[in-house]
Amino acid sequence: MSQENVELLRKGIENFLAGTSEVAREDMLSKAAEGWDPEIELDVSETPVLDIGAVYRGRDAVKRFWRDWLAAWATMRFEYELVDAGDRVVMLFDPRMRGRSTGIDMPMGKVAWVFT
């Protein structure tokens, strides 16, 4: 089951990276949300960027987070590695964004997320 989870996450990430327009991003978010558990929880309470650090619970709340996050950036790119961790998948990545209103490039630094 865990390798299946890795592949599901990989597909979702590739869809995310392909969403380059507002319409494509909204379509990507809607498709992603269909696969999320209704009780999904996204904890970005320690995110040092923007004023959106919180714990988001439920599909609508997580979609709202991603809309707000993506609205801030003209571009967002990253390379990533997925690690099978049994019933979890660890995503190691190094996001780089360009501010939509400032045009300033902002590397976020290396990050690890755990998906359960």
Write down the pTM of the prediction: 0.77
pLDDT digits (tens, 9 = 90+) for 44-83: 888 766 677 889 999 999 999 988 888 888 888 888 999 9
pLDDT tops 70 at residue 20 = no
Q: How far is CA 8 from CA 15, 54, 104, in A?
A: 11, 26, 33
- For residue 95, the domain's CATH number is 3.10.450.50
- Of 115, 35, 56, which Cα lies nearest the Cα of 83? 115
Give the residue numbers spanning the domain of 6: 2-115
Do 50 and 70 contact (CB within 8 A), yes or no? no
Amino acid at 58: G
Total number of domains in the chain: 1
DSSP the chain: -HHHHHHHHHHHHHHHHH--SHHHHHHHHHHHHHHS-TT-EEE-TT--STT--SEEESHHHHHHHHHHHHHTEEEEE--EEEEEETTEEEEEE--EEEETTT--EEE---EEEEE-
